[in-house]
């Protein structure tokens, strides 16, 4: 059984570009989460979906960050426009309600 | 709003030693507490979770954690560490039984041979 798959693993963007990160959750999981990880801020929740419905869209990230879940097996996180401070590792996670949360390996974004 | 604090940024032990990684939380209501491990360049992996019942929870690879309401703590322990246990350990809390988690800053565990 495949875990959470994130692509790409690494992304380099120029300031002002639009980037789209992709996530495939574990098959059968109905909860999906996007987190951002930085050395300074640690792990921060960006978005939370339950059965494809957006349950929470992190307040501090609403401005340029948009997560979508068009079907139960695929989610995207769009950052538009990117800024250097967006450089971080973006983690996608999924779970079946109430059970263990599985994390992907993350996408390392560098904005120059 | 719950908060999670991990007082030790770095812990270094020798292989075969026991280790305890500390976690304290701040929240007045029911809370789910969990621990995750992150090896370099990897995503987080679930170790164990507590909500109610026996305050000592067993996890994978010989890890256990003990919940204390009086101390607002959920410390992680292992009796005998292996070099492969070297990683960053995150304590996390949630007010719902979901993956909507508030994480501590993490503790870097280094196991020396």
Q: How many domains does chain A have?
A: 1
Residue A59's pLDDT band, with cuts at 50, 70 and 90, is confident
**Do residue A56 and residue B100 have CB atoms under 8 angstroms apart?**
yes
Coil, strand or helix at A5: strand
For chain A, how are helix, strand and coil distributed in percent, rounded to 5? 5, 55, 40
Q: Parse chain B into domains and list their residue ranges.
A: 3-112
Task: Report the pLDDT value the prediction gives residue A1, as an integer from 0 to 100.
Answer: 53
CB contact under 8 A, A103 and B45: yes
Chain B hits for A42, CB-CB cut-off 8 Å, are 103-106
- Residue in chain B closest to A46 (alpha carbons) equals B100
High-pLDDT (> 90) share of chain A, %? 85
pLDDT at A2: 73
Average pLDDT, rounded, for chain B: 94
**CATH (one of 3.10.180.10, 3.20.20.140, 3.30.210.10, 2.60.40.10) for B3-112:** 2.60.40.10
Q: Within an 8 Å CB–CB cutoff, is residue B46 touching chain A?
A: yes
What tokens does B83 get? 């070099």
User: Distance between CA atoms of B74 and B56, rounded to whole angstroms?
Assistant: 9
Whole-angstrom Cα distance, residue A56 to residue B57? 30
pLDDT of residue B27: 84
**Region of A39 on the Ramachandran plot (φ > 0 left; ψ -120 to 50 alpha; else beta):** alpha
Lowest mean pLDDT among B26-30, B56-60, B89-93: B26-30
The pLDDT score that the predictor gives to residue B89 is 98
What pLDDT sits at residue B34? 95
Nearest to B42 by CA among A58, A102, A104: A104
Residue A51: give the domain boundaries: 5-111
């Amino acid at each position: 059984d495949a875990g959470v798959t994130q692509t790409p693993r690494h992304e380099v963007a120029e300031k002002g570009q639009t980037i789209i990160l992709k996530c495939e959750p574990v098959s059968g999981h109905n909860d999906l989460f996007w987190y951002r990880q930085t050395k300074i801020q640690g792990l921060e929740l960006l978005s939370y979906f339950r059965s494809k419905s957006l349950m929470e869209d992190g307040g501090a990230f609403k401005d340029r960050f948009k997560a979508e879940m068009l079907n139960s097996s695929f989610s995207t996180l769009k950052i538009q426009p990117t800024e250097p401070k967006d450089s971080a590792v973006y983690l996608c996670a999924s779970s079946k309600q109430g059970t263990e949360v599985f994390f992907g390996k993350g996408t390392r974004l560098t904005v120059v | 709003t719950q908060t999670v604090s991990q007082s030790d940024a770095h812990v270094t032990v020798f292989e075969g030693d026991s280790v305890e990684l500390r976690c304290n939380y701040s929240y007045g209501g029911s809370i789910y507490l969990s621990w995750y491990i992150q090896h370099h360049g990897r995503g987080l992996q679930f170790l164990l979770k507590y909500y109610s019942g026996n305050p000592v929870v067993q996890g994978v690879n010989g890890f256990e954690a003990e919940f204390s309401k009086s101390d607002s703590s959920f410390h992680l322990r292992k009796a005998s560490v292996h070099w492969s246990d070297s990683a960053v350990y995150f304590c996390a809390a949630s007010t719902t039984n979901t993956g909507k988690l508030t994480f501590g800053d993490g503790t870097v565990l280094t196991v020396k041979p």
